[in-house]
Structure 1
Amino acid sequence: MIKFTNFNQFYELFSLFLLMQIGNFFHSLTLVAILNNINLKKMRTLLLFVLFLIFSSCRKEKTEDIISVSENLIKKTEIEAKLIAVKSNKSIDFSNQITTQKITSEFGKPITIEKENLSDLYGAEPWTILKYNGLEIVLEGDFISEITVSNEDWKIGDFKVGDKESKILTKLERAEKKDSDYNLYLFPKLDGVFFCKTNKQDEVIKLGISNTNF
C-alpha cells in the first residue's frame, strides 16, 4: 500500500495517473473517430476545453487547501501571552518585563513570597517566587521565567485546568523537546514552551509556561 506524507505528493502522483488515462482516452477516441468518419479537429478542441475545466477545478481545490493550511497557521498565532485571573478578569503580560509590584497590584497579595536578594556566581538575576491559590509565578529579575497553574481560577491565554488537550492542539504546535511528565507545545512570540499534564480523560490537570525569557 502506498502511503502519502503530504498533499503535494498525492496531487503529483494523481496528476501523473490522470495524464496516462487521458492519453489512453485520446487514443481510443481517435480510433472511434476514424472508424465513424467524425471530424477529429472539432472533437479534439472540445476535449481540450473539457480538460481545461477539469484541471482548473483541481487547481482551485489545491489553492483552497493551501488557504485552509494558512488560516490554520494564523489561528495558531492568535493566543495572547497573558496570565488571567478568571474571577476578576485581571491579567498580566508575561512576554515583557514585569515587577513583583505590578503582579500584586493586579492579583492582590500572594499567599507567600520567596526572594533571593543577590545574583548568583554565574550572573543569573535574583529570583522571586509568588504563590497564590492554584498559581505559582517565578521571576528572574524583571522577567517571568515560569508559571504553573493547578486549578480553574487562572488561565494562560485561552487555556485553563479542565480543558481537553485537543483544544490546545487546535491552537498550539507540539514542541520537538520531550518531557516524561508533561506534554510540551510552542507558544507564539516566546522562546520557552507551554506545558500541560492530563488525566486519563484527556483533561488538563496542570499547565504552565517555562523559560519564557531564554
Structure 2
Amino acid sequence: MLRDVLRKPFVKQSLVVVSLLPFIWLFAAAFLDQLGPNPAEYLIRSTGEWALRFLCITLLITPLRVTLKMPEWLLFRRSLGLLTFFYALLHAVCYSLFDMGLAWNDIWADIVQRPFIAVGFAAAVLLSLLAATSSNRVIKKMGVVRWRILHRCVYAIAALAMLHFFWMRSGKRNYDEVIVYGAILSALLVWRVWHALQTRREKTQS
C-alpha cells in the first residue's frame, strides 16, 4: 500500500511544496519585520540550518530504501538533494548580501582568512557540482559509474558542513544542535560504511 502511494506524482509534488514552506515563512517574516533585532543574522543562521536538515533527510533515503526494501524512496532523493542545494544557496546569498554587502574582495578575503567560512565555501562548491550533475542528461553523458563516484562527495559535504556548523557555534559555546546533527550524520555515515562492507562480503561469497 505504502509503495503504491509513494509512486503517485502528487506525493513528490507535495514534498516539494512542504519543503518550501520554511523559505516562504522566512520571506514573509522578513517582509513583515518579524525576524527579531538582527534579521540578517537570523536569515543566515536559519537558511544554513535548513540546508543541514535537508542534507540529513537526503542521506536517510538510501538506508530507508535498503532496510525497508522499498526502491520507491529513491524517487525523492533528487528532489531532496536539490532542496538541500537551494537552502545552501540561500545561506550563501544571505551571507554575501547581508553580512558582506556583496563586496567580493572582502568575501574572498573572508574565505581565505577564516577557516569556518572556507570549509562552508568548500561544501557549497561541492554541493553545486552535485546539483549541476543531477539531471538524467548529465548522468547519461558522464556515465553511471563516474556519476556515482562524484556523488559520493555528499559524505565529504556532510563532514565539511558539520565542521562549518561546529566552528560557527563555538564562538558562542553553543553545541547542543551540533551534537544532535553530528550524531545523526555520524549514524548515517556508519550505516553507509557497514552496508558497503556487507555488500562487498556478499559479492565475495557469491
Name the TM-score class by shorter chain.
under 0.3
Q: Which has the larger radius of gyration?
A: 1
In proportion to residue count, which structure has more strand? Answer: 1
In proportion to residue count, which structure has more helix? Answer: 2
TM-score (norm: length of structure 2): 0.25
Q: With a CA cutoff of 8 Å and minimum separation of 6, indicate the structure with the bigger relative contact order.
A: 2
TM-score (norm: length of structure 1): 0.24
